[in-house]
A = this chain, B = another copy of it.
Amino acid sequence: MNKRDAVETKTRILSTAEKLFSEVGFDGARVDDIAKEAGVNKALIYYYFKSKDEILDTLFSALIDEIKQVLIQKTVAGTPEIQDNIINGDYRPLIDAFMDFMFRKRKIIKIVIGESVKASTKLSMVMKVGTLIIDGEIESIRKAYESKGLHFSVNKQEFLVTEFFTGFMPLISYALYGDEWQKIYHISEKDLREQFYQSFKKTHLAAHLGE
């Protein structure tokens, strides 16, 4: 096997683990099953990863890296258009980008949430990621304002609470329960997302606008 194959093998292990962790939880997933479903020998998993925990850590790190990437791309390093939209209160493109990302990553998000509710966890990944995103958001908005010569100030603590509980968590919830909602109410992802966006707009975003 050449390097490309090796990388591919490791990736296959990771995505299989992601799938299984999201389906049955981290504790519920068996390394045996990951091996079987990934089509590799179990010992090989331990060749690539020191432990089952390290697989999870790798997935988490990758998630955080991607989030940073998306944040930078979609906000801070966003096009002048995006920045205009933000100032004009048209968050639609931003939210859409975010929802795309979240929906695509819903498997690992489920894992993160599943792990975060265990009290044993040190600093919950959710708060870690939430704070990360919100900080990025603040920065992005500030930058947008500044690029127009405007000033943006905010009560950090108040802002955080609002963003985390009424902005970030609803979006996360969409990633967690969107699938199920579609099934129960026989609604397409597109339609549900539109409904969600309307709700989000008239609640969370309305507050943004109002400020």
Q: Evaluate contact between B24 and A162: CB separation under 8 angstroms.
A: no
Residue of B nearest to A185 (CB): B157
Q: Evaluate contact between B22 and A176: CB separation under 8 angstroms.
A: no
Q: Which of B170, B181, B195, B196 contacts A170 (CB 8 A)?
A: B170
Q: Evaluate contact between B27 and A180: CB separation under 8 angstroms.
A: no
Residues facing B in A161-178 (CB within 8 A) are 161-162, 164-166, 169-170, 173-174, 176-177
The size of the chain A interface, using a CB distance under 8 A, is 50
Q: Which residues does chain B contribute within 8 Å of A177, judged by CB atoms?
A: 116, 124, 126-127, 164
Can you identify 29 A-B contacts, CB atoms within 8 angstroms?
Answer: A22-B119, A23-B119, A24-B119, A25-B25, A25-B114, A25-B117, A28-B118, A110-B117, A113-B114, A114-B114, A114-B117, A114-B118, A116-B176, A123-B180, A127-B177, A157-B195, A158-B195, A160-B185, A161-B181, A161-B195, A162-B199, A162-B203, A164-B173, A166-B166, A169-B173, A199-B207, A202-B207, A203-B204, A203-B207
